[in-house]
Structure 1
Amino acid sequence: MISGLVFSDGALREEFLDRFSQLAEAAQAQLDGLERLEGGLTVDDAQEVAVGIDEGTYRLGDRPGLEAIIERFTRPVHLVQRGTFTDPPDAFPDSEEIGRRLEQARALLDQAIPSVGRIDVRNHRLDWLGTGWMVAPDLVVTNRHVAAEFAHMKDGAFVFRQYSGLPPVRVDVDWRHEHRIPEESRFRIEEVLWIEPENSVDVAVLRVAEHSYENEPRPRAIELASRVEFEQARVGAWVAVVGYPAYDSRNDAADQQRIFDGIYNYKRLAPGQVTALVQQDLLHHDATTLGGNSGSVLIDLASGKAFGLHFGGIEGDRNFAVQAPRLRQILDQLS
């Protein structure tokens, strides 16, 4: 996703322009002729678009091939394997500036990554529904629209749904499910503790078993950023979204193939920036996400704390997340 902040980092913009010939050459095989129809690519074109994006005068959609290069270079999506992030799987050149930011935060990210899992289901029309993460020693947070697929209110309590005469839906969270890594770490979701109402934020809280089916202990909880920490970081803060992007028929198929290299449903890490704060509840960000990212965590690269809970987005426009302090309010109300 290309926001007005992608070139607010002067070093990243300088790197993009310095390496543009290399990027354009690497992109030709992936762009299906988009830029050939636009009359080719030059560094002057890249400079004009980069300045326009930074100044807010560029209209997205005018140069789709060039935009594809910008998005892949400035908002990549990394595979997660063995509990840490690796390089994107394609051969496209990676930004050294983005890589430097991620490497500086690697120790913090490696503490959080194992606490993010995929929400798998049985006795349901789907195999899995989204992402969740440890928000307290025995609690997983995800989205309301994810939890509503397997639970609902009945007689004053949340119960697991039962479809078409099948047994109640069984819900597990797998803390791994990494590309080409066979190991699992599956924990039973024992209880749906809370689902926020429709007129509130997109949040649900689940109680997870103390041990996995293989008797492993639960992963650690990811600490939530406080209101003070959150407001000190403000717009422009660098974050990493950790979750499980799935192929999304609502988004452009060619763009998804270029960015995700045809690999979906596995744990990924996507860097980006906070682009707006919406009152006391929500934020916008520009990390690259897809539908399965519902319930993903936004990790602040500076502190390693959770900044928010991703719940959706508009392709080419913005992504949405619930602010961490709002999550804290919900947890406090449940305690």
Structure 2
Amino acid sequence: MDYTQIFADPELKDEFLDRFEEIRDASAGAGGLESVGALEAVLDIDHAADAVKQMSEGTWQGDDSGVEAIILRFGRPVHLIRGGTFDTSADAPDGYPESEVVAARLRAARPRLERVIPSVGRVDLRNHREPWAGTGWMVAEEIAVTNRHVARAFAERKGGRFPFRTISGRNVRADIDWRREYRRPQESRFRVTEVIWIAPDAAHEDVALLRVAPTGEDGEPLPAPIPLATGERDGLSVGRWVGVIGYPGQGKADPDDRQRIFDGIYDHKRLAAGRLTAIERDRWVFHDATTIAGNSGSAVIDLTTGRALALHFAGWPGERNHAVRASDVARIVREHAS
């Protein structure tokens, strides 16, 4: 995690220090960290202020106090999506306080986020050992984009084609459910009729294109494609605020960290706020929104424009998240799905 970027926002830094004791005590009480007494012994306001200063300057080397876990949960929370929208008006279900500064940025972007939330879905599998593989989203008419490693769970390259896999003599089937919201039984399932493209291993773009049936199981139409930010001045800059929409699963992260961040709720649609932390020329975009396994294929949405800046494909705990830039996604769609 790039803590330097988190505290590059002076409002968030001030809010964290002002509310530090509340945040620390809630962290200890929620479990997964030390008891309140033990945590107070190693993590007081002076220690926190020193840690924040080092993080702001980029000199933080880490320690065993638990401050990193506290900062991540407070400054980069993950919100449930229900009814096609999100709620930042109350603390998390486990009572953990979350940043009002970050919440205010999301609320300001609500109209733009609500336009694209319906176009992000969970890639479900049938005749497979796993019930689902990752996240996908509409990128063009009847075409969804996901990651190469997601598509490989159910399809494989044979010559210039990408047929569905056969497991135990049965053909695997893939669907996209555009809902899968927590405690909401409604589904919106569409058949993946064809795997159009899976990028080869040698390509740096972890991208796959799926053709999706024009109508769902209940006769509803496909959601609209999410517009891509492909211009030089179309929001792709370090520090840009983004919302990552996808389906975090349990993954292999530390169980206490998973519980602390996701409240024990997995496999459902979520919104995570963060910022772009770095951009590699002609290659990848990096961001610091909170993600986990299942977020593969998530849409990285610019909070200012509502356009997709990138396609999330990987994250390394304690480091940063990788994403394929939207201009590369657009090029792949032109080359392989026209």
3-state DSSP class of the match of 1:292?
Answer: coil
Structure 1 partner of 2:196? 193
Whichever residue aligns with residue 166 of structure 2, its letter is Q
- Offset of residue 253 of structure 1: 1.3
Question: Structure 2: how far apart are the matches of 1:227 and 1:153?
Answer: 32
- Offset of residue 207 of structure 1: 0.5
Question: Structure 2: how far apart are the matches of 1:106 and 1:329?
Answer: 29
* Deviations 1:282-311 (CA, angstroms, capped at 9, x unpaired): 111111001100000000011100010000
- Offset of residue 155 of structure 1: 4.4
Whichever residue aligns with residue 303 of structure 1, its letter is T
- Offset of residue 93 of structure 1: 1.2
Question: Structure 2: how far apart are the matches of 1:75 and 1:44?
Answer: 22
Structure 2 partner of 1:270? 272
Structure 1 partner of 2:294? 292
* Deviations 1:7-53 (CA, angstroms, capped at 9, x unpaired): 10001101111111211221221243177268233221111111111
Question: Structure 1: how far apart are the matches of 2:49 and 2:275?
Answer: 21
Counterparts of 1:319-330 in structure 2 under 5 Å? Answer: 319-330=321-332
Question: Structure 2: how far apart are the matches of 1:70 and 1:2?
Answer: 11
Question: Structure 1: how far apart are the matches of 2:40 and 2:84?
Answer: 42
Counterparts of 1:1-335 in structure 2 under 5 Å? Answer: 1-30=1-30, 31-33=32-34, 36=38, 39-60=41-62, 62-87=63-88, 88-166=92-170, 168-200=171-203, 201-230=205-234, 233-249=236-252, 251-334=253-336, 335=338
Contact preservation (8 Å) 1:272, 1:286: yes
* Deviations 1:72-91 (CA, angstroms, capped at 9, x unpaired): 11000000000011244331
- Offset of residue 142 of structure 1: 0.1
Contact preservation (8 Å) 1:240, 1:300: yes
Contact preservation (8 Å) 1:239, 1:273: yes
Question: How many matched pairs?
Answer: 331
Question: Structure 2: how far apart are the matches of 1:248 and 1:155?
Answer: 32
Question: Structure 1: how far apart are the matches of 2:39 and 2:230?
Answer: 49
Question: Structure 1: how far apart are the matches of 2:319 and 2:33?
Answer: 23
Q: Segments of 4+ in structure 1 off by > 6 A?
A: none
3-state DSSP class of the match of 1:229?
Answer: coil
Contact preservation (8 Å) 2:272, 2:289: yes
Question: Structure 2: how far apart are the matches of 1:39 and 1:22?
Answer: 15
Question: Structure 2: how far apart are the matches of 1:233 and 1:187?
Answer: 31
Unpaired runs of 5+ residues, structure 1, are none
- Note the aligned Cα RMSD (angstroms): 1.4
Question: Structure 2: how far apart are the matches of 1:8 and 1:203?
Answer: 31
Question: Structure 2: how far apart are the matches of 1:34 and 1:4?
Answer: 28
Question: Structure 2: how far apart are the matches of 1:233 and 1:327?
Answer: 14
Contact preservation (8 Å) 2:236, 2:309: no
Question: Structure 2: how far apart are the matches of 1:227 and 1:45?
Answer: 44
3-state DSSP class of the match of 2:162?
Answer: strand
* Deviations 1:144-166 (CA, angstroms, capped at 9, x unpaired): 00101111122431111111212
Question: Structure 1: how far apart are the matches of 2:243 and 2:226?
Answer: 13
TM-score (norm 1): 0.95
Question: Structure 2: how far apart are the matches of 1:8 and 1:240?
Answer: 18
Question: Structure 1: how far apart are the matches of 2:320 and 2:242?
Answer: 15
* Deviations 1:258-296 (CA, angstroms, capped at 9, x unpaired): 010110100000001111111212111111001100000
3-state DSSP class of the match of 1:295?
Answer: coil
TM-score (norm 2): 0.95
3-state DSSP class of the match of 2:101?
Answer: helix
Whichever residue aligns with residue 40 of structure 1, its letter is V
Contact preservation (8 Å) 1:3, 1:317: no
Whichever residue aligns with residue 310 of structure 2, its letter is G
* Deviations 1:165-196 (CA, angstroms, capped at 9, x unpaired): 12x11110000000000000000001111111
Question: Structure 2: how far apart are the matches of 1:163 and 1:28?
Answer: 46
Question: Structure 2: how far apart are the matches of 1:315 and 1:40?
Answer: 23
